Structure 1
Amino acid sequence: QTTIFYPTYLCLVLDSVINKLIECSTNSFSPESVRLVDGAGLCSGRVEVKSNQSWASVCEADFDRQDAEVVCRDVGCGAPAALQGGLYGEGEGQTWDKEFQCKGNESLLLDCDTSDRENNTCLPGNAVGLTCSEPDDVRLVGGGSRCAGVVEQSDQGEWRIVGADDCDVAAVVCRQLGCGSTVSALPGNITGTFRVSCSGSESSLRECWRIYDLLPGLTLICSESVRLVDGAGLCSGRVEVKSNQSWASVCEADFDRQDAEVVCRDVGCGAPAALQGGLYGEGEGQTWDKEFQCKGKESLLLDCDTSDRENNTCLPGNAVGLTCSEPDDVRLVGGDSRCAGGVEWYDQGEWRTVGTEDWDQEDVVAVVCRQLGCGSTVSVLPGNTTIGFVVSCSWSESSLRECRRSEDLLPGFTVICSDLLVQPDIFLTDSMGGVSRGHQGPKMFRGYNFTITCSTQPQYPGGSFLLTFTGSNRTQTQPAVNHSAAFLFPAADDSHQGNYSCVYDNYVFSHSFSSESELLSLTITASPLPAFIIRHVVVLLILLTAITTSYLYYKPTRRQKRVNRVSSMDLYVNAMEMVSLSSRAEAGLGDEREAQGTE
């Protein structure tokens, strides 16, 4: 055997380590650590302690507020916010067989005393769940509010500016500070000490990656009192308001259009577009116990009056969901259309040209066309203007605000979206008064000529109009003259009844574009002949017959003057009696028709 000689100090160290291992193996206090599991982040979950190399849940009866303070401190979080049995499930392992006796000021749960449990059973639903507040290692400074300013994170005892180039970091910071949704996220003028990158789902900035690149610091504005969750972007989701440091959903019965206008303004979005109960799920927390009384002009939801709810229950499916339109912070300029031109973004009171990397251009343009409601991308052309920042998107964002942004210098670009042309107009006219208006659209009397006119705004010269008719699937095409075209139709009959629409086609920017009008629904109906016309025609015919008869059969002579005068008078009287009888007959017939109509 070979003898190995160790220095004396090394033997002393090894001896100390061996003694410590022996002490640990015989220590009656078996748990070595504590954790929170099945929660929303590092600072919430079911309390579990380590027992004999396995994890055991803790019974609610063996755990109080002082124990919770120590656990929150042990896992590196803030003060306890919620403590309840069954809050985060039961777990699948054993139950811890001791009762903690913490004083509340210990640094670690291992430092607390324990005692045997009086009752060795723990009923289902009593595994203790704990929610700790997030640690105060993130703050916003210089914004006049705890929910606005430059992002700073505590690092080794001092506050350092955080650099970031994406909106996911902003969402995590606002969430961690309990400040609701992100209203705006802009790069600052000071370079950050380190860069943070998040996926957006983290509960605190500590869960994000830290990279020591140098990027401009991030300036945030968060909504302090309201947020939209589980939606497709920053401007849609279930409405939740802050209540006693927790978030509560709002019942649809307590929320109206004016309240929605304030909420959309509060979170930095445009006007409300959709408002409906259950639109974005129910949520898992409590329901707000007040009814909002906003006038619609308030800047913040906190400025609105509230009143007690008449009914304290909110049925399932009634948690109000809200979709706000995107804010008008993006536009296309120089293309003679709101759907074509160079991309500009409104930043700190001025419009600035946007650029992007070649490999990311398609994704950015898709987001721009979608945000503007201009359909899909048709083409992208390089621009000549050098800009102050670059945007990078992943295509799925609903607005440019959700994309990453950096202060690199790249040329801008020109976008053409598919909805380039404005919607044309369609209307019906005639020259003989044969058109009447109904609730379902215009009505045309049979036998009358009519004209359908297509027109559009003077946007681009040229183009043509295609008139489609769904009644027989036939179409007609005419060139656009002075931005309009008139389609003439002969005497109307039942074959003309149906839906018409105008499709405007034009070739601009080396591409063909089209836009379709709304439908015009045309009904063909019989032409009514007024009764008073019939009555006057009958009277005139009777008079004409009487006069003609008198002239032909009663020629006057000298000897027959008196006789003829008398005969003429009698004839006149007879004629008038016939007219009177005819009028009474017409009146009687009209009364009879009126009586039948009344019946």
Structure 2
Amino acid sequence: MALLLSLILAICTGPGLIESSYRARLVGGPHRCEGRVDVEQNGQWSTVCGYNWDLKNVVVVCRELGCGAAKGTQSSFPYKPQAEENQDFFIEEFHCKGLEDTLAQCEKEDTDYGSCSHQDYAGASCEIPETVRLADGPGRCIGRVEVKHQDQWGTVCKAGWNLQAAKVVCRQLGCGKATLTRGNCKRATQGQGPIWLNQVSCSGKELTIQDCPSRPWGKNNCTHDEDTWVHCEDPFELKLEGGESHCSGRLMVLHKEP
């Protein structure tokens, strides 16, 4: 009877119960879709050793995190901050086929990582999914905030917008820190289509602007005159000079020396 109950429990719970104890994250990269691979098991984060880590594993990590296509795998790559010296290595080696939805579904093999150092951790680089963009600006890190919802691009109303929300957008795009955020910018071309977000309230720690609390999608009384504009730091500093406002004039470029 006990054996029968165990079999029934195993069938009913399936692999999901086991998988729920694993989840992955990428740490120390320029955005949420690139960095050192960490795995959480039973509330404890462990670093994944880079030995035998390959692109098929990266494909699964990118899929699990909701990122875009896998761009590459990095081992012994100094993502900062590095793992804590007392942070354990995950004791199993992943052997993914590239079709799994999560690392938890991949085959795993117990391995002795006694010789693996914190310079040998696994890394992953994925494309950033295009769900937010800065449009009609003088560079990729400056422009009108637009978000993608139901496969359609729309704008964000300035009501409730602040610097914390701008920080989230800049980080999501892989740009630098938010240096300026303005409620609207009268330009020759205004935003088109729906105004998706309004009263966005971010703490600044969210991974994406879609994670921030806001009014329901598309529910607002805003017009495109109230579209939000964000300026993130970029390796090339851009400015407009000699115009009638901060949104017009001659484009000036300053290349920052590394």
Q: CA deviation at 1:137?
A: 1.0
Cα distance, 1:269–1:80 mapped onto 2, change above 3 Å: farther
In 2, the alpha carbon distance for the partners of 1:205 and 1:90 equals: 27
Partner SS for 2:51: helix
2:208 aligns with 204
Q: CA deviation at 1:167?
A: 5.0
Cα distance, 1:136–1:125 mapped onto 2, change above 3 Å: same
Q: CA deviation at 1:133?
A: 4.1
The amino acid of 2:115's aligned partner reads T
Aligned equivalent of 1:299, options 242, 251, 255 = 251
Cα distance, 1:269–1:173 mapped onto 2, change above 3 Å: farther
Give TM-score scaled by structure 2 length.
0.62
Task: Determine whether 1:101 maps to 2:95.
Answer: yes
1:36 aligns with 26
The amino acid of 2:251's aligned partner reads S
2:68 aligns with 78
Q: CA deviation at 1:122?
A: 1.4
The amino acid of 2:96's aligned partner reads C
Identity of aligned residues (%): 30
Give TM-score scaled by structure 1 length.
0.31
Cα distance, 1:118–1:211 mapped onto 2, change above 3 Å: same
Q: CA deviation at 1:184?
A: 6.0
In 2, the alpha carbon distance for the partners of 1:49 and 1:154 equals: 29
Task: Determine whether 1:186 maps to 2:155.
Answer: no
Any residues of structure 2 matched to 1:466-485 within 5 Å, and which? none
1:487 aligns with none
In 1, the alpha carbon distance for the partners of 2:205 and 2:135 equals: 24
Q: Deviations over 1:23-81 (max 9, x none)?
A: 55997x89632233566664455422244664322101142233123212211223456
In 1, the alpha carbon distance for the partners of 2:117 and 2:108 equals: 21
In the alignment, is the contact (CA less than 8 A) between 1:163 and 1:191 conserved in 2? no
Any residues of structure 2 matched to 1:510-529 within 5 Å, and which? none
In the alignment, is the contact (CA less than 8 A) between 1:197 and 1:208 conserved in 2? yes
Q: Deviations over 1:313-354 (max 9, x none)?
A: xxxxxx979xxxxxxxxxxxxxxxxxxxxxxxxxxxxxxxxx
Structure having the larger proportion of residues in strand: 1
Q: CA deviation at 1:150?
A: 4.5
In the alignment, is the contact (CA less than 8 A) between 1:36 and 1:47 conserved in 2? yes
Any residues of structure 2 matched to 1:587-598 within 5 Å, and which? none
Q: Deviations over 1:78-116 (max 9, x none)?
A: 345673435242244432222222233433223323334
In the alignment, is the contact (CA less than 8 A) between 1:174 and 1:182 conserved in 2? no
Cα distance, 1:16–1:147 mapped onto 2, change above 3 Å: farther
Number of positions where the alignment pairs a residue of Structure 1 with one of Structure 2: 229
1:18 aligns with 9
Partner SS for 1:301: strand
1:163 aligns with 157
The amino acid of 2:229's aligned partner reads L
In the alignment, is the contact (CA less than 8 A) between 2:241 and 2:252 conserved in 1? no
Partner SS for 2:184: strand
In the alignment, is the contact (CA less than 8 A) between 2:157 and 2:228 conserved in 1? no
Q: Deviations over 1:157-186 (max 9, x none)?
A: 444432233352445434533466658651
The amino acid of 1:176's aligned partner reads Q
Q: Structure 1, unaligned stretches of length 5 or more?
A: 1-13, 229-239, 242-262, 271-297, 305-318, 322-599
Aligned equivalent of 1:89, options 69, 82, 100 = 82
In 2, the alpha carbon distance for the partners of 1:185 and 1:268 equals: 18
Task: Determine whether 1:117 maps to 2:117.
Answer: no
Q: CA deviation at 1:152?
A: 2.8
Structure having the larger proportion of residues in helix: 1
Partner SS for 1:210: coil
The amino acid of 1:177's aligned partner reads L
Cα distance, 1:301–1:55 mapped onto 2, change above 3 Å: same
Q: CA deviation at 1:129?
A: 4.3
In 2, the alpha carbon distance for the partners of 1:32 and 1:20 equals: 20
Cα distance, 1:182–1:269 mapped onto 2, change above 3 Å: farther
* Larger CA deviation: 65-74 vs 100-109: 100-109
Q: Which has the higher contact order (CA 8 A, sep 6+)?
A: 2
In 2, the alpha carbon distance for the partners of 1:125 and 1:179 equals: 26
Partner SS for 1:197: coil
Cα distance, 1:268–1:104 mapped onto 2, change above 3 Å: farther
In the alignment, is the contact (CA less than 8 A) between 2:155 and 2:194 conserved in 1? yes
In 2, the alpha carbon distance for the partners of 1:203 and 1:26 equals: 26
Cα distance, 1:20–1:210 mapped onto 2, change above 3 Å: farther
In 1, the alpha carbon distance for the partners of 2:130 and 2:139 equals: 16
In the alignment, is the contact (CA less than 8 A) between 1:48 and 1:57 conserved in 2? yes
In the alignment, is the contact (CA less than 8 A) between 1:62 and 1:98 conserved in 2? no
Partner SS for 2:104: helix
Q: CA deviation at 1:205?
A: 1.6
Any residues of structure 2 matched to 1:167-316 within 5 Å, and which? 168=163, 169-170=165-166, 172-178=168-174, 186=184, 192-195=195-198, 196-199=200-203, 204-212=208-216, 214=220, 215-217=222-224, 218-220=227-229, 222=231, 227=233, 240-241=235-236, 263=237, 266-268=238-240, 299-301=251-253
In 2, the alpha carbon distance for the partners of 1:24 and 1:172 equals: 35
Aligned equivalent of 1:48, options 23, 38, 42 = 38
Root-mean-square deviation over aligned CA pairs? 4.6
